């Protein structure tokens, strides 16, 4: 009984030492990976292109990309998305907390790889997908199940991993 405080403290010290020596990975992965896409019905974000709903994400493997016109890394990511489209990947977008005119200008400036673009003015779709930032991309298989999540911009060095994840989902 008298040694209980010491035992408790030793436990605490071991715990803290583990936390210190294993540098923490601060990326937060979605719990939705491996589950069907939650029910979404998003209005079109720009004129002349359909919005996005869960039904659109069935029948074919698709990449769902969360982006915003105010997001600088999304600009860095744009060429890779265009290259994926060239490679035959079907891509849908979700525009986060954005204005129609800004999205239109963003697509004109940096290219438009998207089949559908859903408008998510209050981040509800983003939260439902379990995403914690922009940009983020999800690989969705033909059955509408999320198979892979990529946090942060898709850079040239990430292309192989993304293409492999898409191949897996097929």
Partner 1 sequence: MIAEVGHAALWVAAALALAQLIFAAAAFTMRGAALADAVRPVAIVQGLAAVCAFAMLAWLFSRTDLSVLLVALNSHVDKPWLYKIAGTWGNHEGSMLLWVAVLGAAGAAYALLERQLAARTTIATLGAQAAIALGFYAFLLIASNPFTRLNPPAATGLGLNPILQDPGLAFHPPTLYLGYVGLSIAFSIAVGALVTRDVGPDLAKAMRPWVLGAWVLLTLGITAGSYWAYYELGWGGWWFWDPVENASLMPWLAATALLHSISVLAARGALRAWTVMLAVLAFSMSMVGTFLVRSGILTSVHAFAVDPARGSFILALLVIYIGGALALFGWRVGTVRQGATFTAWSREGSLVLNNLLLTAILGIVLVGTLYPLAIEALGLERVSVGPPYFNAATAPLALALMVAMVAGPLIRWRRDDWRETLAKLRLPAGLAVLVAAVVWIAAGWIGLLPLLGLAIAAAVAAGSVAPLWGRNLRRTPLFTWGMVVSHLGVAVSVAGMASESAFTQEVLVAARAGEVHEVGPFRVRFVGIEPISGPNFTALQAVLYAGRRGGAVHELKPQARSFWNPPTETREAALLTSGGGQLYAVLGRQESRGRWQLRLWWKPWVTLIWGGGALIAAGAALSILGRVTRRRRRADRTAYA
User: Where along the sequence are the contacts to partner 1 (CB under 8 A)?
Assistant: 2-3, 5-6, 9-10, 12-13, 15-24, 26, 28, 99
Alpha-carbon torsion angle 124, 25, 89, 72, nearest 10: 70
Closer of 29 and 164 to partner 1 (Cβ): 29
Helix 159-169 vs helix 72-86: crossing angle, to nearest 10: 50
Residues 6+ apart with CB under 8 A from 12: none
d(CA 150, CA 163) in angstroms, rounded, equals 12
Closer of 24 and 47 to partner 1 (Cβ): 24
Closer of 25 and 160 to partner 1 (Cβ): 25
Preceding amide of 135 cis, omega within 30: yes
d(CA 136, CA 113) in angstroms, rounded, equals 15
Closest distance between partner 1 and the C-beta of residue 9, in Å? Answer: 6
Closest distance between partner 1 and the C-beta of residue 20, in Å? Answer: 5
Closest distance between partner 1 and the C-beta of residue 83, in Å? Answer: 32
Closer of 2 and 160 to partner 1 (Cβ): 2
Closest distance between partner 1 and the C-beta of residue 90, in Å? Answer: 31
């Amino acid at each position: 009984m008298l040694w209980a405080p010491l035992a408790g403290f030793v436990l605490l010290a071991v715990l803290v030492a583990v936390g210190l020596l294993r540098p923490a990975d601060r990326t937060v992965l979605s719990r939705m990976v491996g589950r069907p896409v939650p029910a979404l019905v998003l209005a079109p974000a720009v004129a002349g292109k359909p919005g996005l709903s869960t039904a659109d994400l069935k029948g074919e493997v698709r990449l769902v990309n969360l982006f915003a016109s105010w997001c600088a890394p999304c600009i860095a990511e744009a060429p890779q998305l265009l290259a994926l489209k060239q490679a035959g990947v079907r891509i849908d977008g979700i525009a986060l907390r954005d204005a129609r005119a800004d999205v239109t200008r963003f697509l004109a400036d940096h290219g438009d790889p998207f089949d559908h673009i859903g408008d998510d003015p209050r981040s509800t779709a983003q939260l439902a997908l379990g995403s914690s930032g922009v940009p983020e991309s999800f690989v969705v298989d033909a059955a509408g199940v999320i198979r892979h999540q990529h946090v942060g911009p898709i850079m040239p060095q990430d292309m192989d991993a993304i293409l492999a994840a898409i191949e897996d989902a097929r």
